[in-house]
C-alpha cells in the first residue's frame, strides 16, 4: 500500500494497486436516509460532465477533453457484456436503489417523471410538464401513452402510488428525505394531472423527480409481489427500455430490450446487456483489455496505466457531480472554521488530484462540484467573484489560523476506512500541510464494517474530529446539496453546524421561483458556506469510462445512476 511520509511530496502511484478500490461502503440506510447521496468510496470514482472544459492530466501540458457523451451508436450489437465495478446489486426496488450497483441497473429499467440528460440538464419524461406559481403547489401533467412491460397502461394512480411510497414508513424508502417530508398531499386533479402540495416552497422540486424519488412503478405488481418485490424471483414492473432478464446471483444480471417501449425514438439500440459483478481491479483491467468485458464505468485507478495503452478500446473522461471531502464531527480543533480554512489552504489538493487520482480529478473550489453549475452559466462570473480562494498557499493558511480560537495542542483525528489506502495517502498529504502550521492531523484507519456507522450513529463518531466521504449530488441542481450539508437540520450535517445567515439565504433561494435570481441567491449562500466550510472539500472527481472499440454510445457523464445509459449502447460501425 503506498504511503507518503511527512515532509515529502506526493509520489506517483500509477501501477500500484489500492486494496479493494473498486468497492464501496455506503451509509447505513434507514427509512429516513438522505436523498442527496453520501457514499464512502473507492479509489477515485470518476465523473464525466459537459464537454465545455478540459484539464491538464499529466502535468506536462496535455489536456483531456471532458465529455458529456461518446460517439453515437450505429446499430444493434446483439449482446454487450458490461461490468458493475462495485459488485452486485441488493435489490431492484427503485426506492432501495441508493448505491452504485442498484442505480446502474435500475436506471435502465424504471423511469422517472423528470429525467436528467447526459448534458446534466433536467427535462420532463413520464411527466409532460410541471407548473407552480409559488413553489408550493405543483401541477404535474402526466403522459397518457406509456405502457409497462406487460403491455398495461401507466395510470395516474400508479404515479400517485409511486410518489407515496416515499412517504410510507412501512415501505422503508432509502430516498425519504427533507424533500419528501415537505410533501403534504398528492392528488389527482384532472384526467392526466397530479397536484402535489408542499408545506414550504421548493422551487427546485422537479429536480428531485429526476432521481429515484420520481420513479413510477406499477401499483398492482408491487402489491402482489409483497415482501419479494425487487428480489430475483419477483423483480419489478416498470416502463423502461429494458426489462429484467436472468439474474444469476453472485455472477451477473441480464437486461433484455423491451420491444414495446413507449418511446420508440429512444428505444434501446442493443437487444441484451449482461452486467457482471467483478470487483477485483486486476480482473477488471484484464477483462477490459482482452475484450471479455466490453465496458465499465468507475474504472479502477490501478487499471488506468494498462488500459491507457490498450489496443482493445479507449478510456473516456469527463467532469461530474462527485467530490471527495472531509466531514467534521463538531469535536476538537476541527470544529473551528478558522482551523478548517487553514488546513484547506495548507493542503496541496492539486497534487492529490494529479497523483492519488492519477490526473482524473481537480482541486475543489467548493463543496459543490463545478459541473453542477453547468446549467447556470449566467452566474459563472458572480460565482467566481464570490467564492473564497481555497488555493494552496501556506502563508495564507497561517493567516487563517491566526483567527482560530480552538486549542491546537491536541491532534485532529480524521477517520477513514482502513481498507482504502488512497484515503490514507490523501490524509497524509493533509497532515503534511497541517504540520507546516504547527497543527497535528492524525489519520485513523477504521475497519469498513464499522466505518459505515459514521453516517448514521453519533456514538460511532465519538473520539474523532472528522471522517472522509466521497459524495455525489442527487441531481445537477446545487441547492439541495448545499441545504443537506449546511442547514441547521440538514440530513448530512453531522457536526451540528448552524449559521442563521446561511439558513436564511438557503430558504430564500429555495422559495425563489425565478431561475436566474434563485441561482444568484444560491451562489450567495454557497459563498457564505465556503467561508465556514461545514465540510472541507478536497477534489472534484471525473467519470472514468472504458469501452471496447466495437461499441460506443454510452453517456460519459455522471447520469449513469439515473439515466438509461445502456439504451444508448450499440455498435461503433
Please provide the average confidence, as pLDDT, over all residues in the chain. 88
Is 195 in the same domain as 126?
A: yes
* Angle in degrees, 0-180, between the axes of helices 337-346 and 515-532, rounded to the nearest 10: 90
Distance in angstroms (rounded) separating the CA atoms of residues 556 and 353:
20
Q: What share of the chain is helix, strand, coil (3-state, %, to 5)?
A: 30, 20, 45
Region of 83 please: left (phi>0), alpha (psi -120 to 50) or beta.
beta
Is 99 in the same domain as 119?
A: no
Q: Could you please report the per-residue DSSP string of 465-514?
A: SEEEEEEE-SSS-HHHHHHHHHSTT-TT--S----HHHHHHHHHHHH--S
Is 531 in the same domain as 549?
A: no
Task: Read off the pLDDT of each residue in 482-493 and give the average, rounded to a whole number.
Answer: 94
Residue 251, in any domain of the structure: yes
Is 360 in the same domain as 479?
A: yes
Q: What number of other Cβ atoms are within 10 A of residue 9's Cβ? A: 11
Comparing CA positions, the residue from 35, 69, 24 lying closest to residue 50 is: 69
Is 308 in the same domain as 385?
A: no
Residue 33, in any domain of the structure: no
CATH of the domain at 148: 3.90.76.10
pLDDT per residue over 138-188, tens digit each?
Answer: 999 999 999 999 999 999 999 999 999 999 999 999 998 878 899 999 999
Residue 227, in any domain of the structure: no
Residue 17, in any domain of the structure: no
**Contact predicate 273/569, CB 8 Å:** yes
E-assigned strands of 249-287?
Answer: 252-257, 272-276
Residue 201, in any domain of the structure: yes
Q: 519 falls in which pLDDT band (50, 70, 90)?
A: very high
pLDDT per residue over 355-413, tens digit each?
Answer: 999 999 999 999 999 999 988 999 999 999 999 999 999 999 999 999 999 999 999 99
Is 557 in the same domain as 531?
A: no
CATH of the domain at 494: 3.10.105.10
Is 135 in the same domain as 176?
A: yes
Residue 11, in any domain of the structure: no
Is 336 in the same domain as 386?
A: yes
Is 90 in the same domain as 210?
A: no
What range does the domain containing 424 cover? Answer: 323-541
Is 327 in the same domain as 364?
A: yes
Q: Has residue 10 got a pLDDT over 60?
A: no
Q: How many domains does the chain have?
A: 3
Residue 69, in any domain of the structure: no
Q: 63 falls in which pLDDT band (50, 70, 90)?
A: low
Cell numbers of 140, please?
404535474
Kind and range of the H or E run holding 383? helix 380-386
Distance in angstroms (rounded) separating the CA atoms of residues 312 and 322:
28
Q: Is 331 exposed, middle or buried (0-12, 13-18, 19+ CB in 10 A)?
A: middle
Is 533 in the same domain as 550?
A: no
What's the pTM value of the predicted model, to 2 decimals? 0.86
CATH of the domain at 88: 3.40.190.10
pLDDT of residue 174: 93
**Contact predicate 46/540, CB 8 Å:** no
**Contact predicate 82/97, CB 8 Å:** no
Comparing CA positions, the residue from 477, 484, 514 lying closest to residue 502 is: 484
User: Residues near 256 by Cβ (< 8 Å), separated by ≥ 6?
Assistant: 242, 243, 244, 245, 271, 272
Residue 177, in any domain of the structure: yes
Which of 188, 221, 254 is the endpoint of a domain? 221
Is 303 in the same domain as 331?
A: no
Show the DSSP H helices in 145-295 as ranges: 156-164, 178-181, 205-208, 219-225, 281-290
Amino acid at each position: 500500500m503506498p504511503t507518503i511520509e511527512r515532509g515529502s511530496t506526493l509520489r506517483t502511484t500509477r501501477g500500484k494497486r489500492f486494496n479493494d478500490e473498486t468497492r464501496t461502503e455506503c451509509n447505513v440506510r434507514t427509512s429516513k436516509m438522505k436523498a442527496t447521496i453520501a457514499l464512502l468510496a473507492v479509489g477515485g470514482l470518476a465523473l464525466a460532465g459537459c464537454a465545455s472544459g478540459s484539464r491538464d492530466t499529466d502535468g506536462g501540458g496535455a489536456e483531456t477533453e471532458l465529455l458529456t457523451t461518446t460517439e453515437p451508436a450505429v446499430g444493434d450489437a446483439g449482446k454487450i457484456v458490461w461490468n458493475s465495478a462495485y459488485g452486485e446489486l441488493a435489490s431492484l426496488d427503485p426506492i432501495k436503489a441508493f448505491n452504485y450497483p442498484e442505480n446502474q441497473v435500475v436506471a435502465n429499467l424504471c423511469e422517472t417523471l423528470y429525467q436528467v440528460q447526459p448534458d446534466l440538464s433536467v427535462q420532463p419524461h413520464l411527466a409532460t410538464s410541471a407548473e407552480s406559481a409559488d413553489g408550493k403547489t405543483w401541477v404535474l401533467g402526466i403522459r397518457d401513452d406509456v405502457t409497462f412491460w406487460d403491455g398495461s397502461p401507466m395510470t395516474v394512480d400508479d404515479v400517485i402510488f409511486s410518489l407515496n411510497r416515499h412517504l410510507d414508513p412501512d415501505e422503508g424508502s432509502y430516498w425519504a428525505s427533507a424533500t419528501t417530508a415537505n410533501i403534504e398531499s398528492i392528488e389527482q386533479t384532472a384526467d392526466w394531472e397530479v397536484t402535489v402540495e408542499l408545506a414550504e416552497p421548493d422551487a427546485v422540486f422537479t429536480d428531485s423527480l429526476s432521481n429515484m424519488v420520481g420513479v413510477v412503478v406499477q401499483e398492482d405488481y408491487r402489491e402482489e409481489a409483497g415482501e419479494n418485490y425487487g428480489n430475483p424471483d419477483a423483480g419489478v414492473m416498470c416502463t423502461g427500455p429494458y426489462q429484467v432478464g436472468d439474474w444469476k446471483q453472485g455472477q451477473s444480471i441480464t437486461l433484455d430490450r423491451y420491444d414495446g417501449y413507449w418511446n420508440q425514438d429512444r428505444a434501446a439500440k442493443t437487444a441484451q446487456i449482461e452486467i457482471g459483478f467483478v470487483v477485483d481491479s486486476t480482473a477488471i483491467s484484464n477483462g477490459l483489455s482482452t475484450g471479455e468485458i466490453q465496458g465499465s464505468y468507475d474504472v479502477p485507478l490501478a487499471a488506468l496505466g494498462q488500459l491507457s495503452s490498450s489496443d482493445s478500446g479507449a478510456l473516456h473522461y469527463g467532469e461530474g457531480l462527485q467530490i471527495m471531502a472531509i466531514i467534521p464531527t463538531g469535536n476538537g480543533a476541527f470544529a473551528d472554521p478558522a482551523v478548517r480554512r487553514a488546513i484547506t489552504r495548507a493542503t496541496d489538493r492539486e497534487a492529490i488530484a494529479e497523483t492519488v487520482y492519477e490526473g482524473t480529478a481537480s482541486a475543489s473550489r467548493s463543496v459543490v462540484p463545478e459541473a453542477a453549475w453547468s446549467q447556470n452559466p449566467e452566474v459563472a462570473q458572480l460565482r467566481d467573484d464570490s467564492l473564497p480562494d481555497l488555493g494552496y498557499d501556506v502563508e495564507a493558511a497561517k493567516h487563517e489560523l491566526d483567527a482560530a480560537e480552538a486549542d491546537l495542542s491536541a491532534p485532529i483525528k480524521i477517520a477513514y476506512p482502513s481498507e482504502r489506502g488512497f484515503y490514507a495517502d490523501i490524509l497524509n498529504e493533509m497532515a503534511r500541510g497541517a504540520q507546516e502550521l504547527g497543527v497535528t492531523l492524525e489519520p485513523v484507519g477504521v475497519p469498513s464494517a464499522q466505518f459505515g456507522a459514521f453516517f448514521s450513529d453519533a456514538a460511532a463518531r465519538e473520539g474523532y474530529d472528522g471522517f472522509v466521504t466521497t459524495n455525489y449530488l442527487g441531481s445537477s441542481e446545487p441547492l439541495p446539496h448545499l441545504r443537506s450539508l449546511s442547514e441547521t437540520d440538514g440530513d448530512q450535517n453531522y457536526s451540528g453546524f448552524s449559521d442563521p445567515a446561511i439558513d436564511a439565504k438557503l430558504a430564500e433561494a429555495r422559495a425563489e421561483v425565478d431561475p436566474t435570481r434563485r441561482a444568484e441567491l444560491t451562489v450567495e449562500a454557497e459563498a457564505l458556506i465556503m467561508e465556514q466550510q461545514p465540510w472541507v472539500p478536497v477534489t472534484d472527481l471525473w467519470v472514468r469510462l472504458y469501452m471496447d472499440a466495437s461499441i460506443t454510445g454510452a453517456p460519459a457523464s455522471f447520469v449513469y445512476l439515473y439515466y438509461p445509459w445502456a439504451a444508448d449502447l450499440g455498435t461503433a460501425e
